[in-house]
Amino acid sequence: MNQFLKAFFAGLENTGKVSGETKLKPFLDLVVSLKQNPSLLIPLLRDLSDLINVKDPGLSNMAKPETGTVKKRIERRYRRLCRVQEELGRLDFKQAAPGSSPEDYVFSKINFSRYREMKEHEFNLLFPGSLTDFEEDFLKKNLGLNRNEIKSAIEGSYKKRDGLYTLERDNPLVFSIMRTLETSLENSPLFSPKEIEEETDNLFNFTGSGKMRNTALLYPLLVSGLDNVQISHEDGMTTKLSISPEGDLAGTFRPGNKPWTLVLIKKEIHPF
């Protein structure tokens, strides 16, 4: 295994005519072959291998919802779009009070009461996973709190009873936090170079391979490998991932069966 990893990462320097997916496949096969092991923390690599590495060319690359880290992140993005689409569909600016601004009217239509009591499944989809979907700077700018402070505020405000999470008392800050986590579309990259680097290091430590060169070249291969992957959501809708003409990894979601495209990873993060 050590020799394979050394040869694989050394071979990443050779751009040649070998396609990215062909070059990546042996590595993905290795990840798939490593059974779940609590001491090997590579959830992103495992999930990306599941998404990219289709062994039977006759099979559709259709991933089931919510069965891995990447899929859960995509599911949360889809649910945010569904919520935004639903709220936009209820707006009728003709009903706005005379003299009120569009922003005031939109704010007046927000249903904060939905955060007083949430079903366990819905709450668990939103929290705490959503905290990883946003940059620390974004959270600080919009909520005035860092990630750990937001986590503490939510955990200290909700109590679980009979399959429901109930807010102990109305709290404008918690309302604002939950609203942001549920509807903001200013997401972090779907997965970052740092996350892949950390998991690659975990793999090296597990196999006793030590540090290797060219590990940064793995990230753009994983990003490009998601081209044409489809994700199935809980409600039966599907999202198609693709590399856009500009070089971004984008997702075409269909909230309410209406296409809505989001950039998931910008080209400058994966320069290939």
> pLDDT digit string (tens) for 180-216?
999 999 999 999 999 999 999 999 999 887 777 788 8
Statement to judge: residues 77 and 168 lie in one domain: yes
**Do 166 and 218 reside in the same domain of the chain?**
no
For residue 269, what are the CA distances in angstroms to 76, 193, 213, 223, 265? Answer: 22, 8, 19, 10, 7
Do residue 76 and residue 29 come from a single domain? no
Lowest mean pLDDT among 160-169, 173-182, 202-211: 202-211
- Do 95 and 118 lie in one domain? The reply is yes
Task: Among 164, 183, 202, identify where a domain stops.
Answer: 183
Coil, helix or strand at residue 19: coil
Cα end-to-end span (Å), the chain: 27
Amino acid letter, 88: L
Nearest CA-CA partner of 166 in 182, 179, 154, 180: 154
Q: In this structure, is residue 151 part of a structural domain?
A: yes
Q: Note the pLDDT of residue 13.
A: 72
Query: Are 15 and 118 members of one domain?
Result: no
| pLDDT band at residue 54 under the 50/70/90 scheme | low
Domain around 126: 69-183
For residues 79 and 146, state if they share a domain: yes
Look over the chain and give the mean of its residue pLDDT values, rounded to a whole number.
Answer: 86
Of the candidates 139, 167, 183, which is a domain's last residue?
A: 183
Say if residues 130 and 75 touch (Cβ distance below 8 Å). no
188 belongs to a structural domain:
no
- The pLDDT, as a whole number, for residue 8 is 87
122 and 143 belong to one structural domain: yes
Number of domains in the chain: 2
Report if residue 190 sits inside a domain: no
Report if residue 201 sits inside a domain: no
Residue 93 sits in the same domain as residue 144: yes
Position 116 in a domain: yes
Give tens-digit pLDDT for 11-33.
Answer: 887 655 445 667 888 899 899 88
Same domain? For 155 and 219 the reply is no
Q: Mean pLDDT over residues 76-104, rounded?
A: 81
Domain boundary among 183, 200, 232: 183
264 part of a folded domain: yes
Clarify whether residues 34 and 85 are in a common domain: no
Query: What is the pTM (predicted TM-score) of this model?
Result: 0.87
Asked if residue 134 belongs to a domain, the reply is: yes
